[in-house]
């Protein structure tokens, strides 16, 4: 049986994630997932690719809101899970997209700038911002938040086990920043998932995920290494990309949880990857 084993949300893009037992699904993806974004003075998005120290900021959902704590210096700030609508709007750039976002607060800007030692500002994606996913791979009505490209990323636990069997030191799943992890099936079986359901929500595999240097950053120390990209390149390299996991879009809203069964309804006709 294919079964959901882990669920993750990333309230602020490129900060540490939060493991959850249940997650509500909205039009943009998991509730609270990557609705916040840090931008530079030109309103361009910031990620661990340039600033690995972002991994040292750990969000948590508490009764008072979204708390972000530095992993080593015991400093924190709490911001609303969902800010009140603001007229203080701006355009922000994430990859090739330009989106409308709202500035959060001067206090938040000062805190994040101090913690990361870079000049940055925190913005939020309001509900009426519609960021369309890449139309070459997904339906025209599919939208996402401040994720790299799609609302969900799925990885099979067997795929990580296969990779770790080839590494001198096993790596945790947090290197790959998935939303959905499942058990059962063969390594990299998720490459072929065309349509599956979890509960009342339908998911569609649209594109294998090309991996970047964030996977080489130790999420506890912010130090970079060569793995897993060096090893993945030896057997997961295609079209000049290193592939691990599959991006998803979805239909329907509801809630899914750890322990739910993943029902495979249709595989892709074409072979997505050759091992």
| Cα–Cα distance for residue pair 111/118, rounded to 1 Å | 10
pLDDT at 39 over 60: yes
Core vs surface per residue 214-226: b (16+ CB within 10 A) or e:
bbbbebeebeeee
| Cα–Cα distance for residue pair 182/253, rounded to 1 Å | 20
pTM: 0.97
Kindly list the domain boundaries of the chain, sorted by start residue. Answer: 3-29+133-267, 32-129
The partner residues of 202 in beta bridges, in order of sequence, read 197, 251
Adjacency order of strands within the sheet including 36-39: 36-39, 121-124, 97-103, 89-94
pLDDT at 273 over 80: no
Interval 102-146: pLDDT, tens: 999 999 999 999 999 999 999 999 999 999 998 888 887 899 999
pLDDT at 269 over 80: no
Interval 181-195 mean pLDDT: 97
Interval 141-179: pLDDT, tens: 899 999 999 999 999 999 999 999 999 999 999 999 999
Task: Report strand pairing: 152-156 vs 180-183.
Answer: parallel
- H/E segment holding residue 162: helix 157-164
Contact, 44 vs 91, CB < 8 A?
no
Please tell me the predicted confidence (pLDDT) of residue 231: 98
If pLDDT is split at 50, 70 and 90, which confidence band does 34 have? Answer: very high
| Cα–Cα distance for residue pair 273/239, rounded to 1 Å | 10
Contact, 217 vs 223, CB < 8 A?
yes
Interval 37-62 mean pLDDT: 98
pLDDT at 275 over 60: no
Please tell me the predicted confidence (pLDDT) of residue 24: 98
Mean pLDDT across the chain: 96
Please tell me the predicted confidence (pLDDT) of residue 274: 53
Q: Can you name the CATH fold of 3-29+133-267?
A: M1 Pyruvate Kinase; Domain 3 (2.40.33)
């Amino acid at each position: 049986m294919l079964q959901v084993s882990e669920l993750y949300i990333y309230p602020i893009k490129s900060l540490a994630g939060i493991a959850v037992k249940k997650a509500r699904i909205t039009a943009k993806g998991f509730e609270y997932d990557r609705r916040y974004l840090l931008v530079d003075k030109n309103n361009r998005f910031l990620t661990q690719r340039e600033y690995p120290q972002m991994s040292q900021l750990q969000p948590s959902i508490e009764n008072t809101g979204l708390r972000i704590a530095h992993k080593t210096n015991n400093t924190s700030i709490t911001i609303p899970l969902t800010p009140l609508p603001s007229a203080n709007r701006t355009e922000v750039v994430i990859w090739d997209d330009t989106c409308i976002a709202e500035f959060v607060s001067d206090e938040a800007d000062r805190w994040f700038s101090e913690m990361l030692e870079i000049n940055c500002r925190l913005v939020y994606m309001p509900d009426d911002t519609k960021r369309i996913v890449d139309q070459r791979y997904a339906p025209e009505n599919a939208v996402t938040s401040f994720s790299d490209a799609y609302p969900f990323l799925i990885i099979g636990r067997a795929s990580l086990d296969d990779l770790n069997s080839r590494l001198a030191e096993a790596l945790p799943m947090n290197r790959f920043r998935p939303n959905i992890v499942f058990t059962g099936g063969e390594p990299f079986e998720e490459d072929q998932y065309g349509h599956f359901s979890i509960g009342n929500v339908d998911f569609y595999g649209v594109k294998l995920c090309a991996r970047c240097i964030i996977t080489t950053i130790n999420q506890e120390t912010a130090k970079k290494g060569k793995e897993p990209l060096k090893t993945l390149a030896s057997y997961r390299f295609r079209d000049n990309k290193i592939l691990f996991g599959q991006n998803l879009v979805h239909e329907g809203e509801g809630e899914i949880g750890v322990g739910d069964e993943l029902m495979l309804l249709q595989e892709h006709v074409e072979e997505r990857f050759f091992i």
